[in-house]
């Protein structure tokens, strides 16, 4: 059997506020939180049968899984590669539409 005092303490739980708890919460809130950076490099065979390479960087957490359960992830990566090749259009006019993805490597990192 639990004493009455122990029952009362159990009811308060995290509800009790104190100056030390308030100060600790404010200190933790001031700490910087990391930001996610996602980068991937790709190589595609362009319409002119040449290899084109590029590097795409996101300032967020972005899944690099082609076979994601929603099925849209591979399409999004395809679209981002196409957009990157469009941005390089002056240096690579024969890249679009690209035929096949030859290699793909990426990394996600949390930075300060």
**pLDDT tens digit sequence for 19-31:** 888 888 888 888 8
Which of 15-19, 33-37, 68-72, 92-96 has the least mean pLDDT? 68-72
- For residue 50, is pLDDT > 70? yes
CA distance 79 to 75: 6
- For residue 70, is pLDDT > 60? no
Return the higher-pLDDT residue of 6 and 82: 82
- 82-93 core/surface letters (b: 16 or more CB in 10 A; e: else): eebbeeeeeebe
Q: What is the pLDDT of residue 68?
A: 64
pTM, whole model, 2 decimals? 0.66
- 39-78 core/surface letters (b: 16 or more CB in 10 A; e: else): ebebbbebeeeeebebebeeeeebeeeeeeeeeebeeebe
Sign of CA dihedral 82, 110, 59, 63: positive
CA distance 96 to 73: 21
Strand order in the sheet with 51-58: 51-58, 35-45, 100-111
């Amino acid at each position: 059997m639990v004493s009455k005092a122990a029952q009362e303490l159990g009811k308060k739980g995290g509800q009790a506020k104190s100056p030390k708890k308030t100060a600790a919460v404010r200190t933790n809130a001031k700490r910087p939180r990391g930001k996610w950076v996602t980068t991937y490099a790709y190589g595609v065979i362009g319409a002119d049968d040449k290899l084109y390479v590029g590097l795409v960087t996101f300032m967020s957490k972005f899944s690099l899984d082609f076979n994601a359960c929603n099925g849209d992830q591979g399409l999004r990566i395809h679209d981002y590669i196409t957009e990157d090749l469009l941005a390089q259009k002056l240096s690579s006019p024969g890249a679009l539409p690209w035929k096949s993805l030859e290699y793909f490597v990426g990394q996600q990192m949390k930075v300060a």
